[in-house]
Amino acid sequence: MTTNEEKYKKFVDLNSKSELGGGAERIEKQHNAGRLTARERINILLDQGSFVEMDKFVVHHSTNFGMEKNKILGDGVVSGYGKIDGRPVYIFAQDFTVFGGALSRSNADKIIKITKLAMKNGAPIIGLNDSGGARIQEGVESLAGYADIFWLNTKASGVVPQISAILGPCAGGAVYSPALTDFIFMVKETSYMFVTGPDVVKTVTHEDVTKKELGGAITHNTKSGVAQFMSDDDAQSLMTIRELMSFLPSNNMETTPIKFTNDPTDRTDEKLMSLIPSDPNKPYDIKEIISSVCDNNYFFEIQEHYAQNIVIGYGRLGGRSVGFVANQPAAFAGVLDINSSIKAARFVRFCDAFNIPIITLVDVPGFLPGTVQEFGGIIKHGAKLLYAFCEATVPKITLITRKAYGGAYDVMNSKHIGADVNLAYPSAEIAVMGAQGAVNILYRNLENDAARQKAIEEYEDAFANPYKAAELGYIDEIILPKDTRKKLIDALEMTKNKRETNPPKKHGNIPL
């Protein structure tokens, strides 16, 4: 008869075996490739000692290609739950040292189990991806596993935050689970995502492209907009996830987390009085206003390298986290185009789904003209941003710092599409278009420069200010730049208990 001591020893041995994954040699290979192992990553991401692993003894059920003799405990994914800053999160980390982290049926079932637990218990799910894709030996069972995960990602969308880190390869249909989640983190030299790799690209389109060019972190953070964050290494990526989590509620029923601050809510900032140039054609950095108003001047930017004409990210005002959407006059004059509309629309929808108030800073000359934009569908992409703002029922506060021209005035969270508090600086210009353009259209045949200049000045006096809009109640208050922090915090406080719902429906039809 086996004694209990022997049973305990067997358990301890199996446990260690499971924790060793694909073995010392493959762990070394992983390290040599500049990557950490699944367990090392989890240890960095979660509060020390908080990780509880589940399904440690799961193995695959494949009998093809001699796989019945090749079973590794855990089967290539480490899953469980733990804490970030004391708050619960659910996690899975693909283990590249076991069958290249490739997705088997059993492996998919572990991910599904942990995601369902996250949804049921109202906490974020974080996936650390590092995998050769579908487990080739399992064929359609593996594809089914992926599809089950995609389905669940869609069900979880808007219920709990879903975060994906790409920390190694992510190819084929495997990219679609991360794509269905809310935020994608990548690492500069060691991670890549593509639907088809360079070899297939070469065969089909005859293009020569490297893995890095095709789907590296720089590509997806600057060109495609697929990823939101880019780090130098695994550890930096994981620490950035921790930081992001600190701004988010755990689920769609919670309000945003509050972090105590010593920063006075009525702090003024004289520097802002000279930030905005009197010449409307001169740029300035909108991030100076954002960081000036945030607690301890800290702004956490998202998608920093993509569509830089719009800035999005989180900050805290009086301890409470808020989302910022801001035109950036320092990049393409802050114009709205296809990419910036999509970037901001997705962010607004995430904030709205998770009860995060939205602060919109407006300095926008309008939508970008031209065939590239029109052929690319600026009408439907711009409509995404419009739709997202119209649909959002969280507290919405808008500040016009300078230009608010044309359709872009309406789109950028104007009073008319449901903003709760609309503020403007005295430097605001709220009009159908800029003075030059207006005079060109209204007075095509002006005989001389002096007459033209006079017409421009007349137009500027009439429209290049916030007073007409304030007269009509479209602007609630005109404020001095130095008072911005206090005024925004007052507005947030006033809208704290806002309750608004959209008409009941199955779902709307956002212009995709």
123 vs 149 by CB, closer to ligand HXC: 149
State the minimum distance, in angstroms, from the CB of residue 184 to ligand HXC.
17
93 vs 171 by CB, closer to ligand HXC: 171
Applying CB under 6 A, the site for ligand HXC has a residue count of: 16
Q: Which one of 85-93, 127-135, 346-354, 481-489 is the stretch in contact with ligand HXC (CB under 6 A)?
A: 127-135
State the minimum distance, in angstroms, from the CB of residue 231 to ligand HXC.
20
How many CA atoms within 13 Å lie on the side-chain side of 474?
A: 17
- Applying CB under 6 A, which of residues 58, 165, 174, 311 lies at the interface with ligand HXC? 174
* Catalytic hit among 122, 158, 173, 319: 173
Q: Which of residues 427-466 bind ligand HXC (CB under 6 A)?
A: none
192 vs 463 by CB, closer to ligand HXC: 192
State the minimum distance, in angstroms, from the CB of residue 128 to ligand HXC.
16
Q: Of all helices (H) and strands (E), which one includes residue 422?
A: strand 421-424
By C-alpha distance, which of 227, 231, 261 is closest to 246? 261
State the minimum distance, in angstroms, from the CB of residue 135 to ligand HXC.
5
Q: Of all helices (H) and strands (E), which one includes residue 315?
A: strand 310-317
- Residue 173: active-site member: yes
Question: What is the chain's alpha carbon radius of gyration, rounded to the nearest angstrom?
Answer: 26
How many CA atoms within 13 Å lie on the side-chain side of 217?
A: 22
Q: Which one of 51-59, 94-102, 178-186, 235-243 is the stretch in contact with ligand HXC (CB under 6 A)?
A: 94-102
Instruction: Say how far apart CA 459 and CA 453 lie, in whole Å.
Output: 10
State the minimum distance, in angstroms, from the CB of residue 499 to ligand HXC.
41
134 makes contact with ligand HXC (CB under 6 A):
yes
How many CA atoms within 13 Å lie on the side-chain side of 258?
A: 6
State the minimum distance, in angstroms, from the CB of residue 176 to ligand HXC.
6
Binding track over 135-154 against ligand HXC, x by CB under 6 A: xx------x--x--------
How far apart, in Å, are the Cα atoms of 385 and each of 264, 329, 342, 368, 463?
33, 18, 7, 15, 25
Q: Which one of 4-12, 37-45, 128-136, 481-489 is the stretch in contact with ligand HXC (CB under 6 A)?
A: 128-136
Instruction: Say how far apart CA 134 and CA 140 lie, in whole Å.
Output: 9
Which residues, in sequence order, are CB contacts of 194 under 8 Å at separation 6+?
171, 175, 211, 214, 215
Q: Which one of 7-15, 164-172, 290-298, 455-463 is the stretch in contact with ligand HXC (CB under 6 A)?
A: 164-172
How far apart, in Å, are the Cα atoms of 311 and each of 72, 163, 186, 301, 318?
46, 20, 20, 7, 21
Contact 195, 175 (CB under 8 A): yes
- Residue 438: active-site member: no
Residue in this structure with the two tokens 């007409």, named with its chain if needed: 468
Q: Which is it for strands 125-129 and 162-166: parallel, antiparallel or unpaired? A: parallel
Amino acid at 44: I
481 makes contact with ligand HXC (CB under 6 A):
no
State the minimum distance, in angstroms, from the CB of residue 146 to ligand HXC.
4
Beta bridge partners of 310: 327
SS3 of 194, please?
strand
- Applying CB under 6 A, which of residues 74, 127, 161, 169 lies at the interface with ligand HXC? 169
Instruction: Say how far apart CA 75 and CA 79 lie, in whole Å.
Output: 11
133 makes contact with ligand HXC (CB under 6 A):
yes
Residue in this structure with the two tokens 């982290």, named with its chain if needed: 101
* Catalytic hit among 22, 132, 172, 366: 172
- Applying CB under 6 A, which of residues 42, 58, 84, 102 lies at the interface with ligand HXC? 102
* Catalytic hit among 197, 319, 376, 407: 407
Q: Which residues of 375-394 are buried (b: 16+ CB within 10 A; e: fewer)?
A: eeebeebbbbbbbbbbbbeb
CA angle 187, 178, 384 (to 5 degrees): 110
State the minimum distance, in angstroms, from the CB of residue 203 to ligand HXC.
14
Size of the chain, expressed as the number of residues it contains: 512
How many CA atoms within 13 Å lie on the side-chain side of 438?
A: 20
State the minimum distance, in angstroms, from the CB of residue 131 to ligand HXC.
7
99 makes contact with ligand HXC (CB under 6 A):
yes
171 vs 438 by CB, closer to ligand HXC: 171
124 makes contact with ligand HXC (CB under 6 A):
no
- Applying CB under 6 A, which of residues 122, 158, 173, 283 lies at the interface with ligand HXC? 173
- Applying CB under 6 A, which of residues 46, 58, 73, 171 lies at the interface with ligand HXC? 171
35 makes contact with ligand HXC (CB under 6 A):
no
Contact 323, 358 (CB under 8 A): yes
By C-alpha distance, which of 271, 317, 320 is closest to 481? 271
174 vs 344 by CB, closer to ligand HXC: 174
102 vs 344 by CB, closer to ligand HXC: 102
State the minimum distance, in angstroms, from the CB of residue 34 to ligand HXC.
11
198 vs 434 by CB, closer to ligand HXC: 198
Q: Which one of 86-94, 167-175, 260-268, 357-365 is the stretch in contact with ligand HXC (CB under 6 A)?
A: 167-175
* 29-33 own/partner pairs: CB under 8 Å, 24+ apart: 29/97, 30/96, 30/97, 33/190
Q: Which is it for strands 77-84 and 125-129: parallel, antiparallel or unpaired? A: unpaired
The catalytic residue positions are 172-173, 407-408
Which residues lie near ligand HXC (CB under 6 A)?
Answer: 26, 99-100, 102, 132-136, 143, 146, 169, 171-174
